[in-house]
Amino acid sequence: MDGSCNHYSISLSSVWLTCFCFCFIFVSAELHRFEHPVKADGSLSFFVIGDWGRKGAYNQSQVALQMGKVGEKLSIDFVVSTGDNFYEKGLASPYDPVFKDSFTKIYTANSLKKQWYSVLGNHDYRGDVQAQLSPILRRIDSRWLCLRSFIVKTEIVEFFFIDTTPFVDQYFQNPKHQKFDWRGVIPRKKYLRRVLKDLRSALRESVANWKIVIGHHPIRSIGHHGETKELIMQLLPILEANNVDMYINGHDHCLEHLSSITSQLQFFTSGGGSKAWKGDFHYLDGDEMKFYYDGQGFMSVELTATDAKIVFHDVFGKVLHSLDLSKQPYTAM
Ligand SMILES: *[C@@H]1O[C@H](CO)[C@@H](O)[C@H](O)[C@H]1NC(C)=O
């Protein structure tokens, strides 16, 4: 913002009016934006994993091995991490060896040597929260990219990454019980208002055929933590009003798919990156419940402008659940 739009001395010819409008659109989009190219045939494929960084333990290495194999087959373009990247307390600093031990030395397959787009989970907020956001990490391993809330735009799909941890009231109610690093979040109300406002305007402006929103906490889930009431109240209405296709999260250490009865929105949990919670779920009967698996694994997504294929894989590379979605190409009004 260099103030070039505030040239009041020049009369408002139509040229300047155009400039005003463009500048306004530009300035109104506050979230960091990244562009990611699609494949030569116009398609895209990527993985989603969550809740993983445990120096290889609890099958983290087995999940990584399968990701490497499936990643080769699908020739994935990037990996999305839904947060809780490093247990138990995020990173202590950008030079914390845990980063290499739980990330660089684990996801070693060639097919995984792609960009990783990550959000923060509640466990990441228990360390030095700014460490994971630091450009120092990108110099240690160039695949790493973690921001609080941001956008990744491609020709066929736009991803909206949302920092969900600050939405959860419980984390602010017992500060002695669990320490969170709230630098950059406090004052909380202002922070949340800003996140929602930026997301709303970015979704409204989006002309992408597919819209996918990613956060750490589930909106809907039958797992251990279950639904996040703050997100049902504050985030869900925005997603439904703007025809978002998928909401993908971690936090519950399982793989899961629910559909919505009120909109096209599909809910996916990919939180099986390492320690899983066997048998820990609330039974839900009905049309919305499509799939639940309480072991480790990951999710793959293959997209074209009109079709999506979503698959959940276990630690042996077995396909646990798969789903095809399709839609008409987006046409601007
Ligand atoms: C690793 O995965 C296998 C297969 O799902 C499972 O039987 C085993 O309990 C897992 N190990 C741990 C430590 O979770």
The stretch 257-269 carries a mean pLDDT of 94
**Domain annotation covers residue 332:** no
Q: Per residue in 171-212, pLDDT tens?
A: 999 766 568 999 999 999 999 999 999 999 999 999 999 999
Q: Is 184 a member of any domain?
A: yes
Residue span of the structural domain in which 116 resides: 14-326
Specify the range with the lowest mean pLDDT, choosing from 16-20, 111-115, 129-133, 238-242: 16-20
Residue 4 has pLDDT above 90, yes or no: no
Domain assignment present for residue 179? The answer is: yes
Q: Indicate the number of domains in the chain.
A: 1
Asked whether residue 170 is domain-assigned, the answer is yes
Q: CB within 6 Å of ligand 1 — which residues? A: 58-59, 276, 295-296, 315
- CATH number of the domain within which 289 lies: 3.60.21.10
Instruction: Report the separation in Å between the CA atom of 151 and the middle of ligand 1, taken as the mean of its atom positions.
Output: 35
What pLDDT score does 217 carry? 98
- Domain for residue 111, yes or no? yes
Structure tokens at 291: 């799939």
Residue 276 CA to residue 254 CA, distance in Å, equals 6
* Ligand 1, atom 4, residue with closest C-alpha: 315
Q: In the block, which residue shows the tokens 């698959």?
A: 311
Residue 8 lies inside a defined structural domain of this protein: no
pLDDT at 10 over 50: no
Lowest-confidence region among 19-28, 176-185, 228-237, 306-315 = 19-28
Over the chain, what is the mean pLDDT?
91
Q: Residue 83 pLDDT more than 70?
A: yes
CA distance 83 to 247: 14
Catalytic option among 32, 36, 224, 225:
225
Q: 3-state DSSP call for residue 34? A: strand
The ligand 1 atom at the shortest distance from the C-alpha of residue 59 is 1
Residue 235 Cα to ligand 1 middle (Å): 34
**Please, what is the angle between helix 14-28 and helix 188-205, to 10°?**
130
Distance 59 CA to ligand 1 centre (A): 6
pLDDT tens readout for residues 270-313: 999 999 988 888 877 777 999 999 999 999 999 999 999 999 99
Residues annotated within a binding site: 51, 84, 87, 122, 216, 251, 253
Q: What is the dihedral of CA 315, 50, 48, 277, to 10 degrees?
A: 40
Judge whether 136 lies within some domain: yes
Query: Given a cut of 70, is residue 322 above it in pLDDT?
Result: yes
Whole-number pLDDT of residue 53: 98
What is the model's pLDDT at position 283? 77
Within 8 A by CB and 6+ apart from 170, the residues are none
- Ligand 1 site-directed mutation target among 60, 65, 315, most atoms within 8 Å of CB: 315
Mean pLDDT, range 124-131, rounded to an integer: 97
Is 9 inside a domain boundary?
no
Share of the chain above pLDDT 90, in %: 83
